[in-house]
Amino acid sequence: MTQIIFVVTNDKDIIYVPFIQVKVFDNLIYIFICYSRVEIPGTGSRKETWIMTPEEKLETVPVLREEGNQLYNRGEYNKAAACYSEALGILEQLVLREKPGEPEWIVLDKLQIPLFVNLAQCQFKEKDYYAAIKNTTEALSRDPTNVKALYRRSKAYIETWDFDLAAEDLRKLAICRPEMKNTVENELNIIEAKRVNEEIKGRQKLAGKLFACPKSVAESSIL
């Protein structure tokens, strides 16, 4: 579990945010958990990313994530999404510096998962369902059993009427988390009810067209 340490001083609040450094020496992988001392977002200025060192960029990622979480909890979904997107952009820059498959690359790539999931949740709240599907899919491409990503993508699929895909994600979720069986069953029942309702509406619409009285030639002609 990520631990965030807050310290209140006379003039500003300080947050100590953990970040990971990966080093390889003599074919051995060393993972260091460090703490970076930064001001709580909003209380001070932050460097532009283009003048940051790679280490500073990496330290900024959890700060942006925490800022996004705070904004989300206040219901400021667009601002929260901007924080998550900025953090993802920084990680993308750092990933490009590493060789795919190397330990540093893997760690940086995995750090994107919770950011994609959180960004998708903001987009879902803003009813941008296709964007939510895109970003949960990004998370699942890195972690196919991510519970939050599976659940949130299924909810987005329901909103876009992709019932089969939604049900598929829910069944995967039930396999990953058997304790969520009741939740999954409830969601599957909701999907089935929506599907039946849509089929009824479709039949009613078709019946209305079939039995509607056609206009006479005189009525349909343009004078």
pLDDT at 190 > cutoff 50: yes
**Amino acid identity of 166?**
A
Query: pTM value?
Result: 0.71
Query: pLDDT-based confidence at 143, cuts 50/70/90?
Result: very high
Task: Work out the average pLDDT over 147-152.
Answer: 96
pLDDT at 18: 62
Query: Which of 13-22, 73-82, 121-130 is predicted least confidently?
Result: 13-22
pLDDT at 125 > cutoff 60: yes
pLDDT at 179: 94
How far is residue 211's CA from residue 20's CA, in Å, rounded to a whole number? 68
DSSP lists the bridge partners of residue 20 as 33
Regarding predicted confidence, which is higher, 211 or 94?
Answer: 94
* CA distance to 167, 170, 207, per residue, from 190 (Å): 10, 12, 26
pLDDT at 89: 95
How far is residue 186's CA from residue 181's CA, in Å, rounded to a whole number? 9
How far is residue 110's CA from residue 47's CA, in Å, rounded to a whole number? 25
